[in-house]
Amino acid sequence: SEAAIYEKLSDICISMKSEDYLKMPDLMMNVIAINLKDGELKKYKKLEKELILSLEDTDIVASNSAVLMGKLLQMANGAVYDEDGTTQEIHKEKLKALEDIIEAANGKPVLVFYSYKHDLERIQKHIKDTRVLKTAEDIKDWNKGEIQVLLAHPASAGHGLNLQAGGSTIIWFGLPWSLELYNQANARLYRQGQKENVIIHHLVAKGTADEDVMKALKDKEKGQSELLEAVKARVRKIKGGNEHGRKSI
């Protein structure tokens, strides 16, 4: 089916990545494995298996598979909303890893993407001197190098924001399922005009749904890349066999 789809598309479209026609900096993808303690992982596995987790004075309940996945990803990040909407902290392992990366940056600006509101609140409490991306003033200050840690949700920073002048390091505190959201968020720094090599850190809790999301993103990227390469190969073939010099688009 893939071959048939590529064949149908080959003479009516062409798509290229930025790397195909722009001078781009080097890109390093780094996956940082986060090890949960036995008790923390036990709570995660209990909710995953039984769809309910009893804490000291509240319960975490997953009514269906979609809700379960959401709560498991929350727990992988370190906290989860209970039935009353109150944040219940499970662990601080990602916060510690985030702090280590920021310290290792030695003052170099970092852009941190978070997933949930409680992620944002916990990061702000744990890490000093952060700024949340909200206004044009935040963008201006970041690009002037006046913000060391900029916090953003990928849905609010996915398109049209030029942040490449302010830094070259991204940290994913929590991962989205959407490849488009993921790629567009990364493109805020990895884009034309970026003068530094870009590094993208992914905090992935071992033995959790984080690993599933990371794998899904890689698989989607692989499929998309294969499609683009197949289309480009077909275009080259058409151009090579065009005896009349017509342009193939």
Distance CA 142, CA 161 (A): 12
pTM of the entire structure? 0.83
Reported as a single tens digit per residue, the pLDDT across 102-145 is 999 999 999 999 999 999 999 999 999 999 999 999 999 999 99
* 239: confidence class by pLDDT, cuts 50, 70, 90: low
52, pLDDT greater than 90 = yes
Using the predicted structure, report yes or no on whether residue 165 has a pLDDT greater than 60.
yes
CA distances in angstroms from 160 to 80, 190, 236, listed in the order given: 31, 13, 32
Give burial (CB, 10 Å; 0-12/13-18/19+) of 63. exposed
Alpha carbons within 13 angstroms on the beta-carbon side of residue 81 total: 13
Q: Which residues contact 4 (CB under 8 A, 6 or more apart)?
A: none
pLDDT above 50: residue 197: yes
Check if the beta carbon of residue 166 is closer than 8 Å to that of residue 143: yes
pLDDT band for position 249 (50/70/90)? very low
- Mean pLDDT over the full length of the chain: 88
Beta bridge partners of 29: 200
Cα 213 versus chain centre, distance: 10
* C-alpha span between 53 and 48 (Å, rounded): 9
What is the token pair recorded at 53? 């987790």
